[in-house]
Amino acid sequence: MNPKHLGQNSSLPASPEEAVLDYVPNPRLGRPYLVRFTGPEFTSLCPVTGQPDFAHLVIDYVPAETIVESKSLKLFLSSFRNHAAFHEDCTVGIGERLTAEMKPQWLRIGGYWYPRGGIPIDVFWQSGPAPDGLWLPDQGVPGYRGRG
């Protein structure tokens, strides 16, 4: 596995479809553990108005043979900033792509979206039941409360 981005100058992909995610061997193969990535400033575009949408993403996964390289994940998530899609499509699509390519033992994603039209929308997806005995902390993102 030769990472495309790690240690290299990398441009922001024009779209999620053009983004290349790098995977490297799991350094603790056979030992179940949880990896968490948090993207507190995720952005995409509303497919109807073209206005920006903002979310706090939390991605939890239990690696199998590979782990996702964090720089490539950052570039992938950043590629959504000019991508027009509903909250559900962005959140579930990220989870499904990571699951399809990395093939983790388990993955979940929480998309905590800031209000659009006065209504916050939170989207959750997971690949299946969490492995038995896994320490699974709360994602730690409170429900939207406005300024209060």
**Catalytic center residues:** 46, 53
CB 103 within 8 A of CB 62: no
Q: Which of 58, 99, 94 is nearest to 79 (CA)?
A: 94
In whole angstroms, what is the distance from residue 51 CA to residue 37 CA? 26
C-alpha span between 90 and 39 (Å, rounded): 13
